[in-house]
Amino acid sequence: MQTLADGWNEGNARKSANCFAEDAIYTEPPNKQFYRGRESLYEFFGGGEEPAPQMSMAWHHLVFDEQEQIGVGEYTYQGMNRYNGLVIVKVTSGRVRNWREYQYKSDLDWNEFIGANKF
């Protein structure tokens, strides 16, 4: 997950896309975003172009169930807009096979966003 964030932070779409399985499914329910396949994600992440503005991704909490190969992470993503959210992933053979995110567009930084419920 950190390699994925590093790729976004470096503007390296290939590095981020390579964290996903060839047949990965990336969604934001309900029907906000849907991408299938590593190459589709590569293009979504910027392809060979330098993203404008520069993307940034910070993980706040990551939890992973090794037996189920399912993980959850809270994050802040900044691109054209700032989003604070949560993603749940299913990993297969060391790569993200399924990505389902729930995010909120907000100008608040993470600590302001979560308010008094800090941990």
Q: What pLDDT digit, counting tens, does each position of 73-109 carry?
A: 999 999 999 999 999 999 999 999 999 999 999 999 9
- C-alpha distances out from residue 33 to 44, 67, 82, Å: 10, 28, 16
Domains parsed from the chain with CATH numbers:
2-114 (3.10.450.50)
Looking at residue 24, what is its pLDDT?
Answer: 98
Looking at residue 52, what is its pLDDT?
Answer: 74
CB 77 within 8 Å of CB 57? yes
Per residue in 18-61, pLDDT (tens digit) is 999 999 999 999 989 999 999 999 999 999 887 777 889 999 99
